[in-house]
Amino acid sequence: MSRRISPVIPGFGLTLGYTLVYLSLIVLIPLAAMFVHAAQLTWDQFWAIISAPRVLAALKLSFGTALYAAIINGIIGTLLAWVLVRYTFPGRKVIDAMIDLPFALPTAVAGIALTALYAPTGLVGQFAADLGFKIAYTPLGITLALTFVTLPFVVRTVQPVLADIPREVEEAAACLGAKPLQVFRHILVPALLPAWLTGFALAFARGVGEYGSVIFIAGNMPMKTEILPLLIMVKLDQYDYTGATSIGVLMLVVSFVLLLLINLLQRRIETP
């Protein structure tokens, strides 16, 4: 006689209902309200707002610096995850805890600290100034700020996958004559690539919408170092709610398309 085991949480219908209500209140309704507000404009008016040179410059800067930061973290974050998983050394737990520091540290505090460090009179910025280039108040400074904020996303998505890869597989491949590069290419890369893409997508998405850590180090010069979130704040300060909403819709659509392409690529890789 089979014994029915009651589920730990309520059934599918109830939990799905709670999920949809929560998702609607937190995500779907606010996004729908933004689209509804932007729909008050005609297509020509909407296009005139999003195609303005200032908006396009901010769009290129925001997505470009977020992409560069995600690529840098994709490399550095993978190396950090490798060191934390594969090696034991003094201070390992301290470094592992410091990886999560950008999650706990207010982004505005991070922005102030980075600005003080990389400004022309800062500890690092003064040496860069002596070499003839600036870090703060340039796209390079924005990229560094985004790299700092988004680093944990890559490390924390790659680290558990790397820890689950048995070392015996690598040792067996080496015993069969595989060179280290072949082991990395044929064993590690296929296992790590889906997680790496997930971390890359999370870092990129966070970088696109980042505001607090960038606002101080950017310099906020229109057409040069003005990011899209700042431009939205400028529109709101000018009581141009329609313009701010239109820029928000532009960011949402571009981000959705890029993340969709990354997810499709990830599914294609995961499918045998």
pLDDT in tens, 57-110: 999 999 999 999 999 999 999 999 999 988 888 988 899 889 988 888 888 888
**Per-residue pLDDT, 60:** 93
- For 9, which DSSP code? S
Q: State pLDDT tens for residues 197-214.
A: 889 988 998 899 888 889
Kindly report the pTM of this predicted structure: 0.85
Q: Is 241 helix (H, G, I), strand (E, B) or coil?
A: helix
For residue 77, the one-letter residue type is G
**Per-residue pLDDT, 31:** 86
* Contact between 246 and 46 (Cβ < 8 Å): yes
Please give the distance of CA 187 from its chain centroid, rounded to a whole number: 27
- For 188, which DSSP code? I
**Length reported for the chain:** 272
Helix (H), strand (E), coil (C) string for 34-100: HHHHHCCCCHHHHHHHHCCHHHHHHHHHHHHHHHHHHHHHHHHHHHHHHHHHHCCCCCHHHHHHHCC
Residues of the chain under the 70 pLDDT cut: 1-11, 270-272
**Per-residue pLDDT, 104:** 84
Residue 14: partners with Cβ closer than 8 Å, 6 or more residues away: none
**Per-residue pLDDT, 41:** 86
For residue 195, the one-letter residue type is A
**Per-residue pLDDT, 187:** 81
**Per-residue pLDDT, 261:** 85
**Per-residue pLDDT, 158:** 92
**Per-residue pLDDT, 79:** 92
**Per-residue pLDDT, 271:** 66
